[in-house]
Structure 1
Amino acid sequence: MSNYSKNDDRGKEVSISMKEKKNEVIGVLGSGDYGRAIAGKIASCGYSVLVGSRDPTNPQILELIKEKEGTVLVTQDEAAGADIVIVAVGCDHYEKLPLNLLKKKIVIDVANSTSPQPLSQPSNAENLQSLIPEAYVVKAFNVLSAYALENNVQQSAKQVPVASDWPTARQRILCLAREMGYTPVDNCALVNARQIEAIPLRLMPSWRRPLVVVAVLWCLQYLILLFKYQICGSLKSGEPWASVTFKHLALLNFNRSTAITALWTLTLCYLPGVFAAYIQLIWGTKYRRFPKWLDAWLKMRKQLGLLMLTLGAVHTCLGLAVWSGRYDPLVWEPPTVISTLVKYNETSFVTKNVTVLNSAMTLQGELFLTFGTLSMFITCLLGVTSLPSVGATLTWREFTFIQSKMGWMALLMGTIHDGLLGWGFSPKDYQVCSLPSGAQYALNFPLATILLKIPLLLPCVDAALQKIRRGHDRQKKRVVTVYPLTAKMPEKRRRRDVEDLLKYRDEKPPKPVLPQVW
């Protein structure tokens, strides 16, 4: 049976078995949504939980507490008498609590600030510790919401940082978080609670750079298409500047720019891996960090992939809206033109040519649709397996096969999908502002990436790369030339060379630097 030790009032360690630990009573000061949620979660682990309220006779609160099995509604003074006390009230109400009853107890602070605070300012947990100097204040569970606690959202994948100046108390709460099904993270001293309290207030910090990159790419594509088809196209054809000139801005141009950006974003997911492989081959080692720009690029590949999945879904929906021979004549059989009499007025008819669109696709159109569907399907599979709950069920080989090999397959099929639409254009398309069609210039970036990947697939190159990634370090040995003692050379130089040789022979090899995970 595993043991747990904590400090008693005299500073000595007392051993407590796991069975005795389960008999501990945990108090929660606060009967609000969060207080009830964390009380119910802890009670489900086998603990007895006392929920302290300023009005324990309130029938509405009593009814809500009854729904949480293993919890009892009591006064705040009674809850403060528990072995571990969770302060589930806002920082503005700290002074209203029975602080004198919290001495020599483990006190967990779960409060968050309502707005981001500078790191130079003390955290809520530090303020609580200053109010109760004799208590063992621990910062924990503030990254969990009431909804997540009640519905077991992100259970095992959710990290719970814990900080405290009291090592024994910190270890006890780390154990409690693990029992609740979360992944505890030891953040050491209580001063680190400043960073912990800033976590819930962050607005997608890892998504900002990928969002900016994708937004800039999309705007660039949209402006190019606007310049080619609307501005230059109107000047070339002599159309008036009317609403008909810009009728395709909302749908056709939007769909084209979304499609190009999706293909380029998918390329951005795999190009940094190619650069990393070439750098490792040049360096001959994996024990050197990549340049900062490449390291940052590698770390945002997951976000880029999910953004690509979003763009691909939007392109698919918009593509269905414009899927007709009028918008994509290259993938449909040629239309039929018939001459017919059209009634002009009551007494006369006019002969007009009427174009009847064909409902059958060409071979080019069928391949275009097939490769696009397969690329979108594989991209969806990549997005699903990137979820922590799904990725945890896969072995490392399965995960890398899906994310790497099938990801490259998605990029190859997406490139073919775009190329099938681009091959039917003629040099006449360059007459409009001397710009190629969107389907043509969109191929440059992915084709260049695929060409860079091909040499890495050669058996000799791949074997050398895998050898380096297994830990082989190809370093150039330093050669020290020492003249024979009998040679005619200055005594100082001979002595210096001999000392260099002995120093080189006796020096220890440098310790390898752990590589950056990517």
Structure 2
Amino acid sequence: MQIGGTASHISLGSLQPIEMDISSSNMITLNPTTNRKRLDQKQETICIFGTGDFGRSLGIRLLKSGHQVVFGSRNPQNSTLLPSGAQVLTHADALKESNIIFLAVHRENYDFLLALSNLLDGKVLVDVSNNLRINQYPESNAQYLSQLLPKAIVVKGFNTVSAWALQSGSLDANSQVFICGDDNKSKQQVMDIARWLGLTPLDQGSLLAAEEVENYPLQLFPMWRFPFIISAGLTVFFFLYSVLIKIIYPYVQKNENNSYQLMVSIPNKIFPSVSLILLGLVYLPGVIAAFLQLYRGTKYKRFPDWLDKWMLCRKQLGLVSFAYGFLHVFYSLIIPLRYSTYLKNARYIIAQTKKNSTTDVAMVWIWRSDAFYASGVLGFSVFCLLGITSLSSVSNAMNWREFRFVQSKLGHVTVLLCTVHTALLGWNKFLMLSRYKWGLPPSYLLSMMIPCIVLALKLILIMPCVDRMVTRIRQGWERKEKCSGNLNI
């Protein structure tokens, strides 16, 4: 989930992939000038050092795109696994056939290139290697290669694309290729090859960026760590809290064994509570940022690092919240099928029969239950819409105003509906002291705290006088302040 219309801030230099849809032909539409350039490249021979999975997959993709491919190998005779149509020569002979060489070998095997240093003079050497862990070496592989072969023009690229992605096509995997290097002409040549393959090249600057480019594919869900930590912490907290209230308290006070609630009842209290809190955490940084801009009177100051990182992972927080909400829906659907629920209803009916009495219709409780279910259904429906529009294939088909309306306007409506749904569940129970086991409030009260704060702050922000001021600041207006007798803007 993302918040449209709030003051978002992106860290400079971050390598955040931007997914885009590729047509069924796996080719990107180019202008006539680029098409003529491609025709010139069609007969160009590309050399590949390395006959492993990546080298073979790259060779297949290049051959399908119309390039001539020559592999450099220590044993040219042992070439049964290489794609048909590609030449297989020794390293020295292969270098004579091409000016662009893709190096698909590990850093530990770079030494064989020293004997070929003279043949690499002025040629473009594309380093596609990755390491086993982040910052494994003092310098990046590309920088080490540039020091090892000063006569070659080293370009870092294609390390973010897997062999599977090259074989399956960009429709089945990320199509982005990060490119960096010190020679702009050589970088452009490599980027043109990427475009020819139907990939999306992204220029990351000089070879100094190679370290960040090499670390990127080694990161394990970097934007998901904070959401996972928060959701795991909340899950453990509400589990222990519910066990204390629902199992330990009845056992100590009444000698009741309610351990069966560990399977359904307690999880069905954990999931909605965590989901509602995470949903509130999606929109809380946006309102904090708005008040911070109001306080500063400008949008041209960086947010604190903690707020910046928080805002960057709002989408992940929202998706985790959606997953917990989905679990809550499924657990709620099986409640009537439980044996304990059937037994409870049967005992109630038997007790009423023995007393020969009936329960009067209470319109307040009828309205409450219907409003409870209606708000839940509507809230989850809008929540599903937020989740769908967060998909890149859907969001790319929307303009900014549409995306902002769904993610911001309807997002706050979702927070409101889900909070109302939770409030109707509790109704007036929070006023009953008997509900506070050992003085502890019910879990639904705890889950409503952050969403209520978000709604209260948002209510202030949508007031006309405040909204006009926020809009002016985000359009570039700055508050003038006196400092040492001068007016600073």
Other-structure match for 1:437: 442
> In 1, distance between residues paired with 2:340 and 2:305?
45
> In 1, distance between residues paired with 2:298 and 2:339?
56
Change (3 A) 1:323 1:273: farther
User: Relative to structure 2, which stretch is displaced further, 395-404 or 291-300?
Assistant: 291-300
Deviations 1:316-341 (A, max 9, x none): 22222324698789xx999523589x
Amino acid at match of 1:238: N
More helix by share: 2
Other-structure match for 1:301: 314
Other-structure match for 1:40: 60
CA contact (8 A) 1:265 1:304 kept: yes
User: Relative to structure 2, which stretch is displaced further, 260-269 or 135-144?
Assistant: 135-144
1:208 to partner: Cα distance: 1.5
Other-structure match for 2:187: 170
Deviations 1:407-431 (A, max 9, x none): 1111111112212211163615435
Matched, 1:422 2:426: yes
Matched, 1:318 2:335: no
Which of 272, 282, 285 lines up with 1:269 in the alignment? 282
Deviations 1:160-192 (A, max 9, x none): 322323333223223333443444333333343
Other-structure match for 1:492: none
Other-structure match for 1:107: 125
Deviations 1:129-174 (A, max 9, x none): 3443311121111111111222234789654322323333223223
Other-structure match for 1:484: none
Other-structure match for 1:149: 166
Which of 94, 97, 100 lines up with 1:84 in the alignment? 100
Amino acid at match of 2:89: T
Amino acid at match of 1:50: V
Structure 2 counterparts to residues 60-139 of structure 1, below 5 A: 60-61=80-81, 65-66=83-84, 71-77=85-91, 78-80=93-95, 81-96=97-112, 99-100=116-117, 101-118=119-136, 121-139=138-156
Matched, 1:473 2:488: no
Structure 2 counterparts to residues 10-409 of structure 1, below 5 A: 19-56=39-76, 60-61=80-81, 65-66=83-84, 71-77=85-91, 78-80=93-95, 81-96=97-112, 99-100=116-117, 101-118=119-136, 121-153=138-170, 158-239=175-256, 244-323=257-336, 335-337=348-350, 362-409=366-413
Rg larger for: 1
Change (3 A) 1:278 1:130: closer
Other-structure match for 1:483: none
1:289 to partner: Cα distance: 1.8
CA contact (8 A) 1:333 1:362 kept: no
> In 2, distance between residues paired with 1:232 and 1:165?
68
* Identity across matched positions, percent: 34
Deviations 1:61-97 (A, max 9, x none): 25xx14xxxx524224443321211112223333346
> In 2, distance between residues paired with 1:26 and 1:191?
25
> In 1, distance between residues paired with 2:482 and 2:210?
48
Change (3 A) 1:3 1:394: closer
Other-structure match for 2:453: 448
1:295 to partner: Cα distance: 1.9
Matched, 1:461 2:477: no
> In 1, distance between residues paired with 2:151 and 2:207?
15
1:269 to partner: Cα distance: 0.4
> In 2, distance between residues paired with 1:174 and 1:59?
29
1:29 to partner: Cα distance: 1.9
1:448 to partner: Cα distance: 2.4
Change (3 A) 1:304 1:328: farther
> In 2, distance between residues paired with 1:129 and 1:249?
60
> In 2, distance between residues paired with 1:234 and 1:289?
53
SS of corresponding position for 1:116: coil
1:450 to partner: Cα distance: 0.8
> In 2, distance between residues paired with 1:163 and 1:479?
46
Deviations 1:216-244 (A, max 9, x none): 222222222122222223222133xxxx3
Deviations 1:277-304 (A, max 9, x none): 1222222221122223222221221111
SS of corresponding position for 1:247: helix
CA contact (8 A) 1:156 1:183 kept: no
Change (3 A) 1:380 1:46: farther
TM-score (norm 2): 0.80
Amino acid at match of 2:57: A
Considering Cα pairs closer than 8 Å and 6+ residues apart, tell me whether 1 or 2 has the greater RCO: 2
> In 1, distance between residues paired with 2:435 and 2:351?
31
Amino acid at match of 1:79: A
1:204 to partner: Cα distance: 1.7
User: Relative to structure 2, which stretch is displaced further, 423-432 or 305-314?
Assistant: 423-432
**Count of equivalent residues:** 444
Change (3 A) 1:238 1:94: same
1:270 to partner: Cα distance: 0.5
CA contact (8 A) 2:44 2:67 kept: yes
Other-structure match for 2:414: 410
1:34 to partner: Cα distance: 0.9
> In 2, distance between residues paired with 1:339 and 1:364?
23
SS of corresponding position for 1:471: coil
> In 1, distance between residues paired with 2:407 and 2:205?
35
